[in-house]
Amino acid sequence: MTGLPDIVIIVDQQEEYTALRECITLGIPTICLIDTNCDPDLADISIPANDDAIASIC
């Protein structure tokens, strides 16, 4: 990559926690699918969904 992305979409906040923390540190806005085991305060835009179901991301 030659530059930072404008926004990052994270499907599984638990699995991609390191990427989420890097986005927060770099000031990159994030959109996250939020399941019951996730913290909605970490994402800039939270979308309630079941991140374990393939139908949530199709």
Q: For residues 57 and 5, what is the distance between their CA atoms, to the nearest angstrom?
A: 20
Place of tokens 């927060």: 24
Kindly list the distances between the CA atom of residue 18 and the CA atoms of 29, 36, 52, 54, 58, in Å, as whole numbers in the listed order: 15, 19, 19, 22, 24
The proportion of the chain whose per-residue pLDDT surpasses 90, expressed as a percent, equals 55
Is residue 11 pLDDT above 70, yes or no?
yes
Q: What is the pTM of this model?
A: 0.81
Q: State pLDDT tens for residues 20-42.
A: 999 999 999 999 988 888 899 99
- Neighbouring CB atoms inside 10 A of 21's CB total 11
> What is the pLDDT at residue 36?
87
Q: For residues 46 and 3, what is the distance between their CA atoms, to the nearest angstrom?
A: 25
